[in-house]
Amino acid sequence: MITPIQISKTKNTLQIRRLCREVQQLKKLSSSIFLLDYDPFSDDDESLTDSKVVQSLSIQGRILPTSEPFCQRSFRISITLPEMYPFAPPVLRFLTPIYHPNVMNNGTVCIKLTDCYRDYTPHVTFSEIIIATEKLISTPDLEFAIHPDAAMEYNGNREQYNRHALQYVLRWGLPRV
């Protein structure tokens, strides 16, 4: 289980500034491939004071895929920061069901940039993770497939996979605005 990051007066001001900067970068992605729905910082407050404590830093937004059949809708995701962030990668999870080889039914997503610390470094940004996730939706990575049924369909019967994915898109996908 992930222990969410605890930000308090004992946390480094540099870390808090970085988090604010990362959220601002996510806002710049808005309307192209990502819409930021929730972040723990208000628009008019660029920093956290000693009196403010964020118990769990979680950011929510919607990925706007560009490939068929996913491009018809958006998919809500959350980015949760573990206690050791930025030395441990943020955890990305799909909150909207999506039929994809790299996404489990519970929303867990397998992306090289964050999983198992494989390609993750403390310099990886939220924006880079979002961009990599959008690319992964378009081009599944079967080497890291965690949804066996979707992976088998994608690899062996692309038409059936596309039909199945479209059913999920139409049933659970969210508006793109």
Report the catalytic residues: 110
Q: How far is CA 51 from the centre of its chain?
A: 29
- The answer to whether 69 and 15 are in contact (CB under 8 A) is no
Structure tokens at 85: 């962030």
Distance CA 19, CA 81 (A): 10
Query: Of 151, 15, 34, 144, nearest to 83 (Cα)?
Result: 15
Distance CA 127, CA 29 (A): 7
